[in-house]
Amino acid sequence: MTRPVLVVDFGAQYAQLIARRVREAHVYSEIVPHTITADEVRAKDPAALILSGGPASVYEEGAPSMDPALLTLGVPTLGICYGAQVMAQLLGGRVARTGVREYGRTALARTGATSALLAGLPEATTCWMSHGDSIVEAPEGFAVTASTTDVPVAVMEDPARRLYATQYHPEVAHTERGQEQLAHFLHHLAGLAPSWTNASIIDDQVARIRAQVGAQRVLCALSGGVDSAVAAALVTKAVGRQLTCVFVDTGLMRLNEGEQIDETFTRQFGVELVHVKAQDRFFDALAGVTDPERKRKIIGELFIREFEAVARELAAGEDVRFLVQGTLYPDVIESGSGHAANIKSHHNVGGLPEDLAFELVEPLRLLFKDEVRRVGEELGLPEEIVWRQPFPGPGLAVRIVGEVTRERAEILRAADHVVVDEIRRAGLYRDLWQSFAVLPAVRTVGVMGDGRTYAYPIVIRAVTSDDAMTADWARLPYDLVERIANRLIREVEGVNRVALDVTSKPPGTIEWE
């Protein structure tokens, strides 16, 4: 593995964005907590450090700081915003609340001092600021190389100690040529080769998978989503026919999802695929159940039982020790900090319990979602799978308010297909985090032809989001909404009304249950 760039996390959402931007510059990055010690950092042998922004004030009681020895390791280091202030303070500079608050696009001017960090940039650019405190005095040895109208120390650097700092956020798209500045720091000031590419990720993971599983059989539960599909494709590339995939059709999948999985994995990749047609067992177990949490529990438990039955059968023939799991890097970071409140018994539904007697193979553990998608494309997975929007483990059940029956699942599946199809035609599918149909538990009166109808409404739910923690309702063009509504009423039997969900998250959640 190549030496990582460590992004020291001072809180809020900044560290992940920086880590992603570093990866976009084709350099491998990892996020570490600001409490990391210099010894722990040394053990990771980082190629560079980036100190992230954060919401605190450096001089407040209990404000996050870091081991000052991190700054004397001789490792090229870039401090950003709060990270720049921590660097300034630890090295004897001065940070203060001056009353100046800069927020948003701000003009940045070079001071005339020679700058290694800003080499190649024009004398004047714009940057993205978001701070209340300012560095009022740079530490000794630093040259101040850029300022704004209100803030004297916008960029400071000490090339002899390989320390650089920007008060603004180069990782944010609004900073003019910000990505270029980060890449310049990584490639030129830290001397890193842009070697983190799809091909290198695949080679690296293939080698790890081979080393981990040897000649043993590996199992993978396919869900139809991009993560399990890419994980399975990587394992196939590594150990070919040692992989057996299991697809449990719960009856709550999207239209043609099962067929597409068969097509891709059995025909295209030649993987051994066990397609469990468990629809009847799921609908039977869900009969009469309306409580959302009960539904989730029933589906989660039944899914595990179905999967275990297949695993046991396969294991009767030979030793199956390994199970593929599509865990992504953000899950790894988040489970480390363990802050997520339990709003819904969530993200383990549709997953597998930890006490299954398997050793996990997690080929996506180091990857962000956009990297997973690019790797998927490189491995030859179809566009439709690679770019599929997230889909909840319990499937359509959490979009069917009230009882889940075969008939209601059919209505919703057909409606969902119409919504997604029109959104794709409008070219919006990839811009939206999720877009789907919801089936409420009420029926309303309508008139069609010259007859009265008494049927279900469909709710269109479309949101934009970066990470599903918060979301905004998508402002779909009215003509698109109209087309969707017309088609829903015309094509989906049992539907006579269409509504648009204009709730953000919070207060709503993305799914209805």
* Residue ranges in contact with ligand XMP by CB under 6 A: 343-344, 346-347, 349-350, 390, 392-394, 398, 434, 468, 505, 509-511
Share in percent of the chain as helix, strand, coil (round to 5): 35, 25, 40
Q: How far apart are CB 390 and ligand XMP at their closest, in Å?
A: 4
Q: Which residue has the tokens 């394992």?
A: 235
Residue 69's alpha-carbon distances to 44, 53, 60, 242, 473, in angstroms, are 15, 19, 21, 48, 46
Q: Which residue has the tokens 């500079």?
A: 93
Q: How far apart are CB 512 and ligand XMP at their closest, in Å?
A: 8
Q: How far is CA 19 from the centre of its chain?
A: 12
Catalytic residues: 81, 169, 171
Q: Whose Cβ is closer to ligand XMP: residue 64's or residue 393's?
A: 393
Burial (CB < 10 A; 0-12, 13-18, 19+), residue 294, is exposed
Q: Which two tokens stand for residue 69?
A: 């020895």
- Give CA–CA dist 204/213, Å, rounded: 15
Q: Which residues pair with 323 in a beta bridge?
A: 219, 360
Q: Whose Cβ is closer to ligand XMP: residue 122's or residue 390's?
A: 390
Q: How far apart are CB 288 and ligand XMP at their closest, in Å?
A: 21
Q: How far apart are CB 252 and ligand XMP at their closest, in Å?
A: 11
Q: Whose Cβ is closer to ligand XMP: residue 164's or residue 391's?
A: 391
Q: How far apart are CB 380 and ligand XMP at their closest, in Å?
A: 25
Q: How far apart are CB 52 and ligand XMP at their closest, in Å?
A: 25
Q: Whose Cβ is closer to ligand XMP: residue 54's or residue 394's?
A: 394
**Can you state the angle between helices 279-286 and 292-317, rounded to 10 degrees?**
150
Q: Which residue is nearest to ligand XMP (CB)?
A: 393
Would strands 134-137 and 163-166 be described as parallel, antiparallel, or unpaired?
A: unpaired
Which residue, among 246, 274, 256, 237, has the nearest Cα to 380 in the 3D structure? 237
Q: Whose Cβ is closer to ligand XMP: residue 79's or residue 394's?
A: 394
Q: How far is CA 37 from the centre of its chain?
A: 28
Q: How far apart are CB 511 and ligand XMP at their closest, in Å?
A: 3
Per-position DSSP letters for 73-109, written without gaps between them? S---EEEETHHHHHHHHHTT-EEE--S--EEEEEEEE
Q: Whose Cβ is closer to ligand XMP: residue 105's or residue 297's?
A: 297
Per-position DSSP letters for 114-131, written without gaps between them? --STTTTS-SEEEEEEEE
Q: Whose Cβ is closer to ligand XMP: residue 15's or residue 328's?
A: 328
Which residue, among 431, 418, 389, 420, has the nearest Cα to 485 in the 3D structure? 418
Burial (CB < 10 A; 0-12, 13-18, 19+), residue 478, is exposed
